[in-house]
Structure 1
C-alpha cells in the first residue's frame, strides 16, 4: 500500500486498472469533483509514482496492488474498503488487456483465459463486495467498461470481442437486479481511445480520442446514471450500423483487415 486515504468527506470512488490509460483519466475526473479514491491495479509502484507526480493529496487517495483475476485479493480489497473507508459511491471496473489471438495456436488459449478472467470474472469480482451494501443504502453506481468491439466480432480479436460482449450482457443483467434498490449500473462503451492498449494497433482507428476527453464525457454519463453510453457519439452510430449489417456484408467489409497483434514472440 503506497498511499493512505482516510475515511471522510467526499464521495468514494473505486477504480480498477488505475495504473494507466482510461483508469487514470477517470481517476483525475473523480479527483476534480472532490472525490476520495481507492485505486486498484497490479502495478502498485506505477500507481504510486503517478499519484505523486500529479500532486494528489494522500489523504484522499489509497492505492492497492490487486490483480482482478485473483478473487481472494479482490475480496480482501473490498472488505478493506468497507471496513476502513465505507460503502463506495461509484465502483468502476476498468481493468483490461487487449491481445490478439489465433485459435489455431494452442498457446493462445491461455491468452483467452487471461482476457476473460480479467474482463468478465474481474468485473463481477470487483462489484461483488459492494452490491449488497449499496442496495441496502439505496444508492450507488456500478460502472462496467466495455468496448465497441463487444458488438461484433473482429478477426484476430476473438478473446477481446467475446469478453467485452460479455461485459455488456453482464451489466445489463445486473442493472435489472439492482434497479429496484436505487443502484445504477452504467455500461461505458468506448470506441478508440489513445491508451497503451491501442497504440500498437496496425489498422485505422476512426474517431480516436485522448483518454482525458473520453473520461470527461464518461464521468458525466456516470453521474447521470446512464444505462449505456457509447463514446464518442460518432462511434455510437457506427455501433448501431454494425448491429444492423447482415452477416454477409459485415464479413465482406472486414475481409483483409489487419489483425490485432498477438502477444510478443507469438
Structure 2
C-alpha cells in the first residue's frame, strides 16, 4: 500500500511512463467529472491533449481551461456506443500524431430503475458497449500501434464494482469485470513490446453522474484526488491499482465469505425504491 493506494504490481517493470515525456495524450470521457479532472491535471506547456466526450459544450469548456494552462488541445465529440466509429477515430488520431499515453475514462454507471425487478435489456446492451466493448477495442487498436513503435502507455478506468455481483447494477458490474480481465490479459501480451497497460479500479467518485444514482457512497473521493491517483498509477509501471484502500479489503471479503452470507449482503446493498 502506498499513500492509501493498494497496488498490484505488474510482472514486467520495464515499461514505465515518464509524465514529462508524454507529449500527446488522449483522454476519453473528458466532458465528465473524472475525465475533466484528468485533463486539467495533464494540461501544461508543450503538451498536446486530445479530449473526447459526449457533451460538446462541456468538452469545449474543459478544453478552454487546458489551453489557458498552456496545452494544445483537440476535441472530438463521440458516443462510444458506436464502437466502430471509436476504433476509426482513435486510429485516425494516432496516425495524425503518435499518442504516447491514453487514459480511457469514459463509461456509464446506470443501475436498475426504481421499481424494476431486472435492468432494462437495452441498458445492459449500452453498458456493455460503452464500458467494455469500445474501450477494449480502442485499447487493442492503440496497443498494436504502440507496440510497433516500441513504447506507450494505456490506462483503462474500471471500477471496484467489478469485484462484486451487484444485483441492482448487473450491467455495470459485469461490464467493468470484463474490462478488468481484458486489461490484465492485454498487459501480459504487450509488456514485452514496451507498452504499459494499467487498469484502475476506483471506488465512489463525486461526479454528477454518480450523484444521479441513489444509495450510499462510502469513502467518497473528489475528482481531482482520483485524477492524481490515476496519474501516479500511469507513471508507476503498475498493472492494477485499487483505491481507496477499503475497496481492496472488500474485494477479499467478497472472495472469502461463504456464498450464502455473501449473497445476503449483496442483496442488502440494493438502494431503496424511489
Task: Give the C-alpha shift of residue 59 in structure 1.
Answer: 5.9
Aligned CA RMSD, in angstroms, stands at: 2.4
Output the CA distance in 2 between the equivalents of 1:101 and 1:20: 21
| Matches for 1:151-230 after TM superposition, within 5 Å | 151-230=163-242
Output the CA distance in 2 between the equivalents of 1:191 and 1:260: 20
Residue correspondences, number: 252
Task: Give the C-alpha shift of residue 180 in structure 1.
Answer: 1.5
Aligned to 1:97: 108
Output the CA distance in 2 between the equivalents of 1:244 and 1:46: 43
TM-score under structure 2 length normalisation: 0.84
Aligned to 1:4: none
Task: Give the C-alpha shift of residue 70 in structure 1.
Answer: 1.5
Q: Is the 8 A contact 2:110 2:213 kept in 1?
A: no
The alpha-carbon distance between structure 1 residues 260 and 92, as it changes in their structure 2 partners (threshold 3 A), is farther
Aligned to 1:146: 158
| Matches for 1:81-160 after TM superposition, within 5 Å | 81-84=93-96, 86-101=97-112, 104=117, 108-160=120-172
The alpha-carbon distance between structure 1 residues 137 and 122, as it changes in their structure 2 partners (threshold 3 A), is same
Partner of 1:155, secondary structure, is coil
Task: Give the C-alpha shift of residue 218 in structure 1.
Answer: 1.1
| 1:28 matches 2:40 | yes
Q: Is the 8 A contact 2:101 2:154 kept in 1?
A: yes
Partner of 2:110, secondary structure, is coil
Aligned to 1:63: 75
Higher RCO (C-alpha under 8 Å, 6+ residues apart):
2
Partner of 1:227, secondary structure, is strand
| Matches for 1:223-262 after TM superposition, within 5 Å | 223-259=235-271
Extract unaligned runs of 5+ from structure 1.
1-8
Q: Is the 8 A contact 1:90 1:140 kept in 2?
A: yes
Output the CA distance in 2 between the equivalents of 1:59 and 1:159: 37
Task: Give the C-alpha shift of residue 235 in structure 1.
Answer: 2.1
Q: Is the 8 A contact 2:37 2:223 kept in 1?
A: yes
Task: Give the C-alpha shift of residue 261 in structure 1.
Answer: 7.9
